[in-house]
Amino acid sequence: MEEPLASLKIHITFPEVKIKEPIIYQIGRDYKIVTNIRKADVTEKTGWVDLELTGEPSEIERALTGLKQKGVKVDPIEKNVIE
């Protein structure tokens, strides 16, 4: 039975040596997830991306592990809920 789809927002930071690598493309190809760039700032020396991952929770976890193995820093984006 398939898991229900989940969505997770993360903030990834690229070291200078990884800036030119198509890491977001690679995880979208390597795992059964949809990547959606929400915000980004990339220069020749630094870069960060706010990324939304959608897919089965187990695939999202695999993609997070894959991102870390590729040498980027991954942080969760906390939901700010104001009631």
**Residue 43's domain is classified under what CATH number?**
3.30.70.260
Q: Is residue 57 part of a domain?
A: yes
Q: How many CA atoms lie within 13 A of 9 on its CB side?
A: 9
Question: 70, 16 in Cβ contact below 8 A?
Answer: no
| Domain contains 82 | no
Structural domain tally of the chain?
1
Residue 41 forms part of a structural domain: yes
pLDDT at 18 over 90: yes
Torsions phi, psi for 13 (to 5 deg): -120, 130
Res 1: pLDDT? 58
Query: Is 79 domain-assigned?
Result: no
Q: For residue 37, what pLDDT is reported?
A: 96
> Is the sign of the CA dihedral 23, 51, 38, 41 positive or negative?
negative
Q: What is the pLDDT of residue 83?
A: 47
Asked, for residue 81, whether it belongs to a domain, the answer is no
Please report whether residue 77 resides in a domain: no
> Can you give the residue range of the structural domain that contains 26?
6-71
Cβ contacts of residue 4 below 8 Å, gap of 6+? Answer: 56
**pLDDT band at 4; cut points 50, 70, 90:** confident
Taking only the tens place, the pLDDT of each residue in 21-65 is 999 999 999 999 999 999 999 998 999 999 999 999 999 999 999
Residue 78 lies in a domain: no
Give the per-residue pLDDT at 35.
97
